Structure formats: C-alpha cells, structure tokens
C-alpha cells in the first residue's frame, strides 16, 4: 500500500503532467521489445529441433499475441479446477512432467498446501528452480516411469505429457498414479488429439489420442468417475481430463436455480 503522501503526490502528478500516458506508451514499447526477443528465442529453440521442455514465458510474451489462441493459459485453468476450494485444507499436489515449472507456480501453488513438480529433464528442473522459488513448491529430477514420489497426494496433474509415453507405459503409470493418491483424490491433465494428416504434432510424442473416447479408455479401469472435455482451435484440438473415485470438479461446484413464474 502507498503512503498518503505518495498517493497525494501521484494524484497531483496525474492532474498536472501526462504521466499515465507516458507510462502506457513506455510499457507498450517494452511489450514490443519483449515480443521481439521472445520471438527470437522461439526461433532459436524450435526452428531446427524441438527441445525437451518449453519455456512458457514465450507463450505470454510472444505466441499469445501472435496467434490469439488462449490454450496455453487454458491448460492451467482447467487443471486448477480440480484443486481444493477449501482455504483451510488445500491439499498436496503432484505435478507430473512439470517442465519449466510455469504451471506449477502460477496455477497450482496458491491453491495447494504443497506442490511437488517432477521432470526427467535436468535443464527443465534447473530452470524451474531458478525462476519459481517459493516455500510450498519443490522441484525434483526424476523419470516418472520409475520415480513417482510415494505421496499420498490429493491431486495429481499430468499436463501435456501423457502423450509422451507408449500405450503400455500409460497403463503402467496409471496403476502407480492411483497407488499414490488419497481416497477420492483427483487426477487431471491435458493432452492433444492426433492431427488429421499423417504424423504427429511433435516427434517426441509416443501416442497421440484419436478422440475423447480413446483417452477415456485409459482412465476408466482405474477410476469410478471420468470426464473428458475438448476445446477446438484452428491449429489443434485439446483434451482435458478429470478422473476420481469421488466427485469431479464441476459436480462439486454445480448450482441449480429454480425460476418462479
């Protein structure tokens, strides 16, 4: 909070000088510079080969502006729906294949008692630790095929990573995931539908899903309640999933209203 003296000074300055116009124009120029530098970073990192992890600051500063596609932020919002709304009992969250830690920090940390992010890429974990330091977030290096922490966890998030595993690996991982979840805990995440043309969106993807039903078949053997939602963009179709033996996120927040005549 600003002191009364500083607040009064700002009021006088705003009336007497075009400070707000100057600051707006300054930040407009800063955003243009940031757009250009993050665009340059994107070309360096992605024009020749795809790195193992994505720096999601490029989404904020470059791609969202260029494409007007909101799905990078949509991912964090949909998974955060699964987190507790109870301020006194937030629960513990495991972020599988957390990458650069962007979603771990910006979308999950405030609504979790503790978040553990795990990724097999040492450069991703190093970057996450450098950028997202806070008391209730821990980043660890490990391959989830052999190193999923014991938990138990109230929430497990598998965002933009399930497609990086083979069908047999997904089945094996589902069993391990279920074993480290609390009763009625929620597994949530995001993945992508295979493209119309031959091939895959990224060469690192082992298995891209045909549709919502194809994704659901990996979840239903392990969870009583499963929901898969799709969003469609010109360049891709996204799938968001929730799986639990308890209530699903939208069920617990559903409000029915009767209208009187």
Q: Which residue has the higher pLDDT, 94 or 254?
A: 94
Phi, psi of 118 (to 5 degrees): -125, 140
Total domain count, the chain: 2
Same domain, 248 and 143: yes
pLDDT of residue 256: 47
Specify the pTM: 0.88
* pLDDT tens per residue across span 17-68: 677 788 899 999 999 999 999 999 999 999 877 788 899 999 999 999 999 9
In a domain, 8, yes or no: no
* pLDDT tens per residue across span 80-93: 999 988 888 899 99
The CATH code of the domain that includes 112 is 3.40.50.150
Q: What angle do CA 41, 43, 45 make, to 5 degrees?
A: 65
Same domain, 101 and 56: no
In a domain, 10, yes or no: no
Residues of the domain holding 57 = 27-43+51-68
pLDDT of residue 11: 72
In a domain, 15, yes or no: no
- Residue 185 parent element (H or E): strand 181-192
Same domain, 170 and 136: yes
* Lowest pLDDT segment from 5-14, 66-75, 122-131: 5-14
pLDDT of residue 233: 92
Which of 138, 139, 86 minimizes the C-alpha distance to 111? 86
Same domain, 80 and 32: no
Same domain, 63 and 84: no
């Amino acid at each position: 909070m600003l002191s009364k003296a500083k607040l009064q000074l700002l009021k006088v300055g705003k009336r007497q000088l075009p400070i707000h116009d100057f600051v707006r124009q300054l930040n407009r120029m800063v955003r243009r510079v940031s757009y250009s530098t993050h665009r340059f970073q994107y070309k360096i990192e992605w024009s020749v080969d795809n790195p193992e992890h994505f720096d999601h600051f490029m989404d904020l500063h470059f791609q969202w502006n260029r494409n007007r596609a909101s799905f990078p932020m949509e991912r964090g919002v949909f998974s955060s729906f699964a987190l507790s709304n109870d301020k006194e009992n937030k629960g513990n969250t495991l972020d599988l294949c957390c990458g650069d830690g962007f979603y771990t920090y910006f979308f999950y940390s405030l609504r979790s008692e503790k978040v553990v992010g795990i990724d097999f890429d040492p450069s991703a974990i190093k970057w996450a630790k450098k950028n997202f330091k806070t008391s209730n977030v821990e980043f660890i290096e490990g391959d989830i095929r052999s190193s999923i922490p014991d938990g138990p966890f109230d929430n497990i998030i598998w965002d933009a990573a399930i497609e990086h595993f083979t069908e047999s690996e997904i089945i094996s991982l589902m069993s391990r995931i279920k074993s480290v979840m609390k009763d009625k805990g929620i597994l949530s995440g995001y993945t992508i539908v295979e493209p119309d043309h031959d091939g895959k969106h990224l060469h690192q993807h082992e298995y891209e899903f045909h549709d919502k039903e194809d994704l659901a078949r990996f979840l239903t053997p392990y969870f009583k309640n499963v929901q898969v939602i799709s969003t469609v963009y010109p360049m891709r179709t996204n799938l968001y999933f929730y799986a639990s033996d308890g209530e699903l996120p939208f069920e617990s927040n559903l409000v029915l209203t009767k209208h009187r005549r």
